[in-house]
A and B are shown apart, each in its own frame.
Chain A
Amino acid sequence: MTSAPNKPASKAAALPALELRKVNKWFGTNHANRDIDLAVQPGTIHGIIGENGAGKSTIMSIVYGFYSADSGEVLVNGTPVTITSPKDALAAGIGMVHQHFKLVDNFTVLENVILGVEGGMKLAAGMARARAELERLEREYGLEVSPDSVVEDLPVGIQQRVEILKALYRGADTLILDEPTGVLTPQEVDELFRILRQLREQGKTIIIITHKLGEVMALTDRVSVMRRGEMVAHRQTAETSKEELAELMVGRKVLLRVAKGPANPGATVLKIDGLNVIDGQGVRRVKDVSLDVRAGEIVGIAGVSGNGQSELLQALSGIMKPASGQILYKGEDIAGDPAKLNARALRKAGVGHVPEDRQREGLVMSFLAAESAILGYHDLPAYNRGILMDRDAIIAETQRYIEKYDVRPTSPTYKSSNFSGGNQQKLVLAREIENDPDLLLIGQPTRGVDIGAIEFIHSRLIEMRDAGKAILVVSTELDEVMSLSDRIVVMFDGHVVGELPASEADERILGLMMAGIDPKKNQAA
């Protein structure tokens, strides 16, 4: 008890594990980092948050030696250091876990760990040393990984663990993790957090770059907020809130949960009965799924990614062929009729589709924004003049989308790939919503999208609902499903586990259902 008051004092006295002073970085005319100041205390978990393009990855890439700063100082444990390559960063005790893992897929864990620090011309000795060291790290931090597994056979969560091990094996005291939870299941996220807390207990310093506020609140000790290339605030996590952080990130008040009135469901627009979908490998992905969506309501499909939701969406949008079962659209069974169940015919019949993977299926990255903005609707008379496309009309229409959906940059003649993820998503949404569908199928509406844009997208969807449209949303973000949907359907292993009104859903119940357990059924039994 008596030692408690001493603890913060000793922490305050310690030199920062990492300190940045007035760091600037330009990319051409773009001032990506403006006078960044940052002090990360040793033995803490420090969050850096900001919207896409706020400069958080840039500043960390400077620390890791991927870029060099145009001006400013980097200090490690109080000593100024010059970092011009990842090697320098490692020498200064800084390790990085990249968002896209830097692992050689067909190598074993051991081979990946020693790459670059083999310790000699011949491998045998270094391999033996690394094996012993991995065992020690495993004991100390609870980082269990079998050293002889081939990386591509490991689940994503374990691959990430290999990345952490790589950094620790190289002697990192400060670990930077860039968007570490983007590809993880909720269980893997819990496991990662456990490991990170344990690393902190052992005196390591953790910096985590993220845009997920829930994770910042759950994990970090301190948090720094970036906006448009500047560091706008530093906070003790215990003394702030999601709402305050969101406001700091966006620069204005943000509704984390969009207000919506009760639904006013009308006629059934989509009814699925006993639907089965078998993929190219012969695996049954969707198993006897039945559900319906009515006009004027939003039905959300929740589930851990890979439990059949994607295939269900692809079958409904005419991309995958269902093996059996009925799909009734406005009362007519179209499941067995390829002339009706295909992407083109469905669009004509008033079914909009926002695919889960916008970069592969939503737009063509090398097309102009204006060209991407009419994909699938390119044969409408409005966009054509005889056998030629009406370029002016297309650009004018895209300009209208851009203004209405606040897409940035604002030029319809930029390449699609020059837009950020969130703005690409807004383009796809604008295309599908503005063509006024009766049924909108939408996968991962806000994956990788900034907080401010999420609010906007959610309000648009609710407006659509209130205009009497039927909307089916597939999302792996529980928060999103809960805040958008009127009814929630949970899928697990291709089956529908259960369905419940959004008003009765909470994270605990949905979490159980996502693991395949229906609490209602258990009560009854």
Chain B
Amino acid sequence: MDNLNDIVTILASTVRLGTPLILCAIAGLFSERSGVVDMGLEGKMLGGAFLAASVAYLTGSPWLGLLAAIGFSIAISMLHGYACVTLNGDQVVTGVAINIMIAGFGPTFAFSWFNLGGRTPNLSGGQRFKDITLPLADTLKDVPVIGTIYDGLISGHNILVYVAFAVVPLSWWVLYKTRFGLRLRAVGENPSAVDVAGISVRGMRYQALVINGVLCGIAGAYLSTAHGAGFIRDMSAGKGYLALAALIFGKWKPGPTLAACLLFAFADAVQVRIQGVPLPFIGMVPSSFVQMIPYVLTVLVLAGFVGKSVGPKAAGIPYVKER
């Protein structure tokens, strides 16, 4: 029983840690499937986190914070689009530039608005998204196994966690069952085929970037107003890059990408759990080494186990109408 509780705790923590990864990875999926490589996930998410926390603090509503995060993130995506889709700039360089710009942007404004050394004030009570207890969770709590899992793992997360998990099947449906999805997949593979079919390549890429911005904004709001309680400098801590790795590991498909995100999140959850706990046969491991686990896993997975992960053929290449 104790073991089950332990497992459920780690899995619940996996779900919470995985949420921003899933949102970002799916954001990247839309953008890259349209042919725009997105190195800027990290920056878009971080910018969203800052706006969400600031607006939530100033208005007292996490929902307004979420809206602000989404709006800001879309704006950054449009900037990304203007540079790489309209002006045919280099997508990787633009993405990295966004990350560097936002890394400085948040703390600078936080400093001038709140004067707290580059972070927002702590959010409390109604300024954050609250955990939701699903119906019957309390009643079923004591039912062995099923009750424990329902109460401990499925119930008790905030709304954005459920949004993230709903986004995955929704994306699958959009990608494979709708006209928009067909065109999106086509434009990342062979934009000139889309062009001669009378569809605007740029239009498709901008639409994909809007979706990308929405999802990154939600991810950012999750970091600062749901999972955390306020914005802290560099709070995204490389999650945008991890999401990109998960996207590659998941071969640009929603289901496998979800699985990859959860794997990385699980490694993170385990890392948190075993920090400061002596391990059998090994004894105390310095916490820095333990904290490395998710990143080492990422490197190993991408280097060794992915094999040939072939992305959208036209990703990274600006579309220039040929003669």
Contacts and interface: CB of A to CB of B under 8 A. Distances in A.
B182 A111 contact: yes
Interface in B156-188: 176-183, 185-186
A102 interface: yes
Contact of B192 (A102, A106, A124): A102
Contacts of B185: 104, 107
A123 interface: yes
Contact of A118 (B182, B189, B321): B182
B146 to A, nearest CB: 36
A103 interface: yes
Interface residues of A, number: 26
Contacts of B279: none
Q: How big is the B interface, by class?
A: 20 to 34
A126 B177 CA distance: 11
Contact of B177 (A105, A106, A117, A123): A123
Interface stretch (A42-50, A85-93, A289-297, A407-415): A85-93
Contacts of A96: 196
Nearest to B193: A102
B194 interface: yes
Contacts of A120: 179
A102 B190 contact: yes
Interface string A47-85: 000000000000000000010000000000000000001
A116 B180 CA distance: 10
B190 A118 contact: no
Interface string A110-139: 011011111011111010000000000000
A271 interface: no
Contacts of B196: 86, 96, 98, 102
B282 interface: no
B194 A116 contact: yes
B70 to A, nearest CB: 23
A108 to B, nearest CB: 11
A85 B193 contact: no
B313 interface: yes
A27 to B, nearest CB: 8
B198 A118 contact: no
Contact of A123 (B179, B313, B321): B179
A107 B313 CA distance: 12
Of residues A66, A102, A117, A121, which shows the largest number of chain B Cβ atoms within 10 Å of its Cβ? A102
Nearest to A103: B193
B182 A90 contact: no
Contacts of A116: 183, 194, 197-199
Contacts of A124: 177
Contacts of A123: 176-179, 181-182
Contacts of B183: 115-116
B195 interface: yes
A105 B191 CA distance: 12
B198 A107 contact: no
A179 B190 CA distance: 21
A105 B189 contact: yes
Given A86-B196, A86-B197, A105-B313, A121 B178 contact: yes
A5 to B, nearest CB: 43
A115 B313 contact: no
Of residues B190, B193, B196, which shows the largest number of chain A Cβ atoms within 10 Å of its Cβ? B196
Contacts of B176: 123
Nearest to A88: B198
Contacts of A86: 195-198
Contacts of B178: 121-123
B235 to A, nearest CB: 38
B183 to A, nearest CB: 7
A506 to B, nearest CB: 41
Nearest to B189: A104
Please list the 3 inter-chain residue pairs (A to B) with the smallest Cβ-Cβ separation, ordered nearest first.
Answer: A116-B197, A87-B198, A118-B179
10 contacts: A86-B196, A90-B198, A98-B196, A105-B313, A115-B182, A115-B186, A115-B193, A115-B194, A115-B199, A123-B182
Given A87-B198, A105-B190, 5 more contacts: A90-B198, A102-B190, A104-B189, A115-B193, A118-B179
